Amino acid sequence: MEDGEAVEAAAAELERLQIEILHRISVIESTFLPQNSSAAPSSSLPVDENETVARLSTILRSGGVNDFCFKRVAPDYYDWPLESRRNVLGASSVDHLCKSIVLVNTQASSNILDCSDRNNSKYYVVVVQYTARFNAEAVKQFLYSLNEGKIPKKRFNLRLAPEETSIKLTGFEHNAVTCIGMKTNIPVILDEAITKLKPDFFWLGGGEIDLKLGVRTSEFLEFVKPFIVPCS
């Protein structure tokens, strides 16, 4: 083996070991050391050491997000009223409970098929509060303005994507969707109201139906870099 090839092989092995170490640290910290005990007291089921928690923790930490935690909830969680969900997560209010929904632009031009242009994407993920009513018209107006009126307004018509499309794009099933670690790099739109929550720590899906993710808003914004739109 040439000296150059040997150096490259050694560097690749070192990188693999570093990623593996980071992965294991993330599993341990997310499982045993929730990063925000004050904002999210331990009132739900223990989080198990599973692949989803490990993978998303690694992604968050690699993106500079340190103030987050996962919580496992009961199978019938979505049958509960919002106040009960708030209690089990230890959220500051029901307004801190949020969801991620995948939208499709049904009127996009025929050449717009994917998410390669975040300003004019076929799909968007919108994060809104459970207590809010999503305003699709506000998003339509935002995208029209974002493109400086160069695309006719009639070309923006955001609707809830079919469940099978959402699963294919995100890798997460219904009630498990999160905008962290999606299969597809879908542009994210965050309702402006979430940025005004006090304290700035909100909850959203965690990649599995009974897994929830709590995260510091400021760190989420820095990492995800969503469009912030008043859409409720």
100-144: pLDDT as tens digits:
999 999 999 999 999 999 999 999 999 999 999 999 999 999 999
Using one digit for the tens of pLDDT, what is the confidence trace for 49-104? 689 999 999 999 999 999 999 999 999 999 999 999 999 999 999 999 999 999 99
In this structure, are residues 68 and 35 in contact, taking their beta carbons and an 8 Å threshold? yes
110: three-class secondary structure by DSSP: coil
Distance (Å, rounded) from C-alpha 193 to C-alpha 127?
10
What is the pTM for the complete model shown? Answer: 0.80
pLDDT at 25 over 80: no
Beta bridge pairs of residue 227: 189
In single-letter form, the type of residue at position 160 comes to: L
In this structure, are residues 40 and 90 in contact, taking their beta carbons and an 8 Å threshold? yes
Q: Where are the alpha helices (DSSP H) in the chain?
A: 3-32, 51-62, 82-89, 136-146, 163-170, 192-195, 217-224
Least confident of 26-35, 185-194, 219-228: 26-35
